[in-house]
Amino acid sequence: MKFAAAILLILLACSSALSPDVQRLCDAYWDWRMSDRPEFATFVGFNGYNANLDDLSLTAYENRLKKSQEFLDEILVLEPTLVETSDVVNLLILKDEVETFIAGYPFMNFLEPISYMEGPQVDLEKLISWTQFNAASDYEDYVARISKLDVQIQQIIELLSEGVARGILPHQISMNGVTEQIDAFIVEDPEECILFSHVFSSPSENLSPQELDDLKNRTKAVILETVVPSFTSLKQYISTQYSTRPDIAISTLPNGTELYRQLIIFHTGEDTTPDFIHQVGLSEVERINGLMQAIVYELGYNMTSQEFSEMIKNDPANFYETGEELMDQFENIVYNIVIPALPLAFDNIPKTNITVVESPSPDQPVAFYQSGSYTTDSGLACSTSTLTTPAPST
């Protein structure tokens, strides 16, 4: 399991009300997280580590486990002494954070660092969108950061190899399209690589012409000398040496049944069984289907809800002629229907801007969202595929 570290922003928001001991512990954890995960630091707007990439070595993960246990030991000593609600709540959040990592570590899911939804071939574009490019030093940090991609990608290959040795492997479905995504970084013209185009399409006005030319040239050199060879090696390893598991069920992974239990706890907060979750799902499907069937009859159709769904899905009137028309309708739903309705269900609504963008790849889900940065202009992005264009339901 991964750190759910974004929750620590709550700690920062409440920090002024904390006792010295709790404040010290929260600050220590936060400072460690910034240095240990520089890419996350960029995401939350802490720019002190923008020249670095995450250390994905096995040793780094072992050190994270050790450090998390040290924090947990401190938490357990401090916890019984607290009386103020703000202290209790914030320490409980921190405790859940480190316990989640410790509980998930034995399953070593970090040995599956790549899929069509994550990995450097996907994450680098997001990392760029989180990065602030104002001064020349910001660009200097960026050049230094991507210069280290050869080390990180080699670490990824080592994680994949360890996963093969331990039988901790993804299903092939998760890897579909990955090599094609990697191809975007194997270029002859460095200006065609997103590591160049996404950074220099609208450069900062604070750069002098000489600085801009120098930074462009150095970035192109890094792409050709470091990025292209590294991604070529990654593609070759995945294509010729990496393997996937034949069965899709999580239970087929080593210790998969216990992993399934931990995932249920992580996602639901309940220590229950997969069968119970499945039965709840079946009962909910039956309940919702009954409500849908009532609507079908109310509309005057003498058919099942499944037949009604197929009719709607195949009705030419519900298709758009172009992807642009589909995107316009999604924007209408998000901006004019969903957002105005949020106060009816929530008291505290984030002020982060939301944009609707076309999915960059047909291999990705039909619709998904990506968190933006807390400090840059990059807000929450709702992405949708325009490969097929049925009208979205309101």
Residue 188 pLDDT > 50, yes or no? Answer: yes
Q: Which two tokens stand for residue 310?
A: 């197929």
Q: Tens digits of per-residue pLDDT, 21-33? A: 999 999 999 999 9
**Please, which pLDDT band fits residue 319 given cuts at 50, 70 and 90?**
confident
Pairing of strands 380-384, 367-370: antiparallel
- Domain residues of the chain, as ranges? 5-266, 273-314, 319-394
- What residues have CB less than 8 Å from 299, skipping those under 6 apart? none
**Please, which pLDDT band fits residue 121 given cuts at 50, 70 and 90?**
very high
Q: Tens digits of per-residue pLDDT, 253-290? A: 999 999 999 999 988 888 898 889 999 999 999 999 99
Give, in degrees to the nearest 5, the angle at Cα 362 between 358 and 368: 55
Query: Which residue blocks in the chain are alpha helix, DSSP H?
Result: 8-13, 20-36, 38-43, 58-78, 85-104, 120-130, 136-146, 149-166, 172-175, 178-183, 194-200, 209-222, 228-240, 256-268, 274-298, 305-314, 323-332, 339-341
What is the pLDDT at residue 364? 58
Residue 391 pLDDT > 50, yes or no? Answer: no
Residue 381 pLDDT > 90, yes or no? Answer: no
What is the pLDDT at residue 377? 53
Q: Calculate what percentage of the chain has a pLDDT beyond 90.
A: 72
Beta-bridge partners for 370: 381
3-state secondary structure of 382: strand
Distance set, CA 391 to CA 330, 332, 333 (Å): 9, 12, 11
> Helix 58-78 and helix 149-166: axis angle, to 10°?
80
Residue 180 pLDDT > 60, yes or no? Answer: yes
What is the pLDDT at residue 296? 97
Which range among 189-193, 196-200, 341-345 shows the weakest confidence by mean pLDDT?
Answer: 341-345
Which range among 96-105, 178-187, 378-387 shows the weakest confidence by mean pLDDT?
Answer: 378-387
